[in-house]
Amino acid sequence: MKNNLLKRFSKYISYATTSDETSESYPSTQALMDFADVMVEELKSIGMTEVKKDQYGYVSALLPGNSGENTPVIGFIAHMDTAPDMPGIAAPRIIENYDGKDIMLDAESNTALTLVDFPELADYKGQTLLTTDGKTLLGADDKAGMAEIVCAMEYLIQHPEIKHGPIKVAFTPDEEIGQGVKYFNVEDFGCDYAYTMDGGAIGELEYENFNAASAVIKIQGRNIHPGYAKNKMVNSQLIAMEFNSMLPEFERPQYTQDYEGFFLLIHMEGSVENSQLNYIIRDHDKEKFEAKKKQIQQIVDFLNVKYNNRLTCEIKDQYYNMREKVEPVFYVVERAMKAMGKAGVKPIVQPIRGGTDGANLSFRGLPCPNIFAGGHNFHGKYEYVPLESMVKATEVIINIATM
């Protein structure tokens, strides 16, 4: 299982599938369409049936049930794209029998995984770690999940004596830019419930996530030659700075944890004449989420009075907390907990401080909790995944399918 997982994971991350948030196409890049073709052939090669790719790049397949019983159809989902924060890696660095010490990723830039910064590394002493080269992200988010799903399906196909109900799998594009299931056909997928294999460290099991929105603030200034600017110049950059200063300082990601929400300035650009601020808004609590959106608008309204209507604000909801859709069918979570226990993994039930494809799917009639894929430090050069965690995630998939 370890060798098979390593082989598939290494193959999948060798394809550059960074999603593009500026693209107007779907999926956002041709590379994602091309990788979808690779996954179609991958699923066919292990013996899956009804393998297909649709016009939007979604890949799906069926493993028919062999139990002879009327059992629910269970789905497993992972996303094919990697985060646009930085480019991916062509091949993982493999550290066998990790010695529990700091890991130098790139000596030239002095980039290292240190126990001071990442104390959880000590938990993986003696295991096989897959890391970056210190210059790229790894792609365990979510190609570790993809490898685990494929290996689990291959194992069940190779062991027909193991009885299970019908299983569907799907691979989606553009999850990292919030568009992962924009055109996903839930009815055609045909599952009673599903799981995204898109969580972090071993044991994570999540059925709560942020309510999420984006906010774009545009500011129109007035540029005048600075030598003659008195009582005439309006510097849009200074208004932008003023706007940001009016948001609560301790509701930023670096000061929050657990169920605490935040405002995050993710991009800014500007000149005297024009400036733009791009924020994301997050909160698990729906009332607090709505209050945060209202607060953004109130600041805009205040500054418009002060500066004679120079600001515009566009707020768009992105996804909602799946808890309200999963709790009524909590046996879906309990099944995953039992499957983890059977694999010798202690479930760590916690809220997702982010979102998954499963959040949107849950609101479209497909309850979809999130299960660990094993990785750490997603979206950056410090990303790594213990191979043994991937083995356990694969076992959990098999256990869910066969319980």
pLDDT of residue 142: 96
Architecture of the domain defined by 211-319? 2-Layer Sandwich (3.30)
pLDDT of residue 396: 98
Its sign, for the CA torsion 382, 205, 157, 74, is: negative
pLDDT of residue 21: 87
Q: Which residues are catalytic?
A: 81, 175
CB 308 within 8 A of CB 271: no
pLDDT in tens, 272-298: 999 999 999 999 999 999 999 999 999
Tokens for 49, please give them.
């049936």
Strand ranges (DSSP E) for 4-82?
Answer: 49-53, 59-63, 74-79
Tokens for 52, please give them.
């297909």
pLDDT in tens, 167-222: 999 999 999 998 999 999 999 999 999 999 999 999 999 999 999 999 999 999 99
Its sign, for the CA torsion 285, 290, 293, 295, is: negative
Q: Please give the share of the chain, as a percent, with pLDDT higher than 70.
A: 100
Rounded Cα gap, residues 193 and 212, in angstroms: 23
pLDDT of residue 356: 84
- Half-sphere exposure for 163 (CA within 13 Å, toward CB): 6
Strand 129-131 and strand 59-63: the pairing is unpaired
Count other C-beta atoms under 10 Å from residue 310's C-beta.
Answer: 17
Rounded Cα gap, residues 149 and 21, in angstroms: 27
What value does the CA radius of gyration of the chain take, rounded to a whole number of Å? 23
Which phi and psi angles does 101 have, rounded to 5°?
A: -110, 175
CB 8 within 8 A of CB 43: no
- Report CA-CA distances (Å) from 85 to 104, 174, 310, 378: 21, 13, 31, 10
Rounded Cα gap, residues 293 and 315, in angstroms: 7
Rounded Cα gap, residues 213 and 1, in angstroms: 40
pLDDT of residue 42: 98
pLDDT of residue 254: 95
> What is the rounded average pLDDT of the residues 322-345?
97
CB 15 within 8 A of CB 91: no
Phi-psi category of residue 379: left, alpha or beta, with phi > 0 → left and psi -120 to 50 → alpha: left
pLDDT in tens, 126-174: 999 999 999 999 999 999 999 999 999 999 999 999 999 999 999 999 9
400, 368, 397, 402: which is closest to 186 by C-alpha?
Answer: 368
- Half-sphere exposure for 356 (CA within 13 Å, toward CB): 34
Rounded Cα gap, residues 403 and 300, in angstroms: 54
pLDDT of residue 68: 85
Its sign, for the CA torsion 84, 129, 352, 144, is: positive
At the top level of CATH, the class of 2-208+321-402 is alpha beta
pLDDT in tens, 55-103: 999 999 999 999 988 899 999 999 999 999 999 988 999 999 999 999 9
Count other C-beta atoms under 10 Å from residue 37's C-beta.
Answer: 12
Delimit the domains of the chain by residue range.
2-208+321-402, 211-319
Q: Which residues contact 114 (CB under 8 A, 6 or more apart)?
A: 102
Q: Is omega for the bond preceding 142 within 30 degrees of 0, making it cis?
A: yes
